[in-house]
């Protein structure tokens, strides 16, 4: 693993989430960068199917939303910190993270 600390300042090592709120224009214009995450990577080694995958997701959502009615579950949802914050149904920790959703066909 690369762990060269040459040229790394204490500011670089400090926890400062604000440093990501005002990125330079050169970074904002990197092609393939979706919402400042690198899910599909960037540059010459980026995923060639990035735009296709995003188009598929949008088409899937566009087909689901008009065909169904979505409603929150009446169960009480609590958030617990694991590696990141996860939703759990109150009293059902043994089932792991879950976020129930009521889905019915749209009747119009």
Token look-up 């050169």 returns 26
d(CA 31, CA 42): 7
Q: Which of 5-14, 48-57, 90-99 has the lowest mean pLDDT?
A: 5-14
Are residues 43 and 60 located together in one domain of the fold?
Answer: yes
Higher pLDDT, 99 or 33: 99
> Is there a single domain that holds both residue 33 and residue 85?
no
Whether residue 58 sits in one domain with residue 9: yes
Whether residue 81 sits in one domain with residue 56: no
Residues linked to residue 71 through DSSP beta bridges, in sequence order: 102
| Angstrom distances, CA of residue 49 to CA of 9, 44, 54, 81, 88 | 37, 13, 9, 33, 34
Question: Which residues of the chain form beta strands (DSSP E)?
Answer: 68-72, 77-81, 85-89, 101-105
Which residue matches tokens 């960037």? 42
Task: Provide the domain count of the chain.
Answer: 2
Is 55 found in the same domain as 80? Answer: no
36/2 same-domain check: yes
Residues 4 and 46 both lie in one domain: yes
- Whole-number Å distance between alpha carbons of 78 and 76: 7
pLDDT at 54: 84
Encode pLDDT of 71-81 as tens digits: 999 999 999 98
For 54-76, what is each residue's pLDDT tens digit? 899 999 999 999 999 999 999 99
Q: Is the same domain home to 87 and 55?
A: no
Which structural domain, as residue segments, surrounds residue 80? 73-108
Give pTM, 2 decimals: 0.49
């Amino acid at each position: 693993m690369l762990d060269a600390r040459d040229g790394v300042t204490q500011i670089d090592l400090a926890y400062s989430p604000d440093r990501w709120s005002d990125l330079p224009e050169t970074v904002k214009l990197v092609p393939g960068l979706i919402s400042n995450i690198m899910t599909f990577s960037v540059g010459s080694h980026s995923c060639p199917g990035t735009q296709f995958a995003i188009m598929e997701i949008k088409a899937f959502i566009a087909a689901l939303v008009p065909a169904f009615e979505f409603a929150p579950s009446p169960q009480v949802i609590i958030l617990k910190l694991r590696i990141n914050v996860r939703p759990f149904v109150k009293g059902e920790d043994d089932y792991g993270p879950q976020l129930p959703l009521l889905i019915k066909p749209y009747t119009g």
